[in-house]
Each structure stands twice: as C-alpha cells, then as structure tokens.
Amino acid sequence: MKPGQAEDLAAKIQRIEDIEAIREVKARYGQAADPTMNVDEMMALFAEDAVLDIERFSVSKGTAEIRQFMAERGFLWMFHCMIPLFVKVSEDGRTARGGWKLWELGTMKDEQTGEPEAVWIGGVYDDEFVKENGEWKFKKVKLKMDLISPYSEGWAKKRFAF
C-alpha cells in the first residue's frame, strides 16, 4: 500500500457511511410522518436551531416552532414516497445537502368545510444536514411544492388546493 492510501481509503469509507446515515435520517423522517405524525420521533431528527420551510404551509425556526407546526398541521393521514436525487457531504464531513422528490398521498381538513379531503402532493426537498456528536441531523428541511391538489379534482383542474 502506498503512503496515504490507507488514509484515503478510510476517508472514502467514512464518506459512504455518512451518505448512508443521511439517507437513513430522511427515511426516518418519512416513517415518523406516516401515517399520522409522531412528533417525538420527528423532533429527534432535527438540530436545535433547525429550520423547517414547507412552501404554502410554514417556515418554522428552532425546535419549539417546528414541534408546534408538526403538532398542529392540517393532515389527518399521510403516505410519503421519496425518491432520492443526491447526497453531498462537505469536505470537512460536518455538513451535507440532500435532495429528494416527493410524491405523497394525504388526507387533510378542507379549509372551508372542515371535512376530510384526499389530496395529491408533489414537490422537491432540498435539505441541509449537520453532524452533531457523530450523529447526522436536519439543519434545514425545505420543500418546494409543485402541487397539492384535491384528489376529487386532480392537478389538471386544481393544481393547488389553497
């Protein structure tokens, strides 16, 4: 083995382990959200100063605001399908970014009637991560909504329910 080769190999292995750990954080996010929000499981995934930016819903800063949003959200039932796009770990191994496409089925309260309404949700996550005490956590979860459409009307007729 050439000088430095073992260190290069160890760094590559660490990067792969970090990428897998970040994917696991995102998977746990979906598991905590579905079928009905488990706020305690969800909050374990966020850094104390994290930001949750869900387009058309809320920008919540810090775990207290994020917890409140999660507890009070208008969804009665959710089914997240997340398609991974990328995970990039910084050179220093302390921060990272990840992208996922979202296709979600949900049930939420109709804003006018208060009755349950089935919706289609589509968008793209652009997340930031930080490694705290050896554990990856969300620094920022940002979801750009491409649609949140009533199932009864579909996105061709009503792309956004609100």
Domains of the chain from N-terminus onward: 5-157 (3.10.450.50)
Three-state secondary-structure class, residue 54: strand
pLDDT (mean) for 6-34? 94
In this prediction, residue 91 has a pLDDT band, given cuts at 50, 70 and 90, of very high
Q: Which phi and psi angles does 113 have, rounded to 5°?
A: -100, -20
What local confidence, expressed as pLDDT, does residue 161 receive?
80
* Residue 44 exposure: Cα atoms within 13 Å on the Cβ side: 11
Average pLDDT value for residue range 17-44: 97
Higher pLDDT, 14 or 1: 14
Evaluate if residue 6 carries a pLDDT over 70: no
- Residues 100-138: pLDDT tens digits? 999 999 999 887 888 999 999 999 999 999 999 999 999
Name the H helices within the chain: 5-33, 39-43, 62-72, 154-157
pLDDT at 47: 98
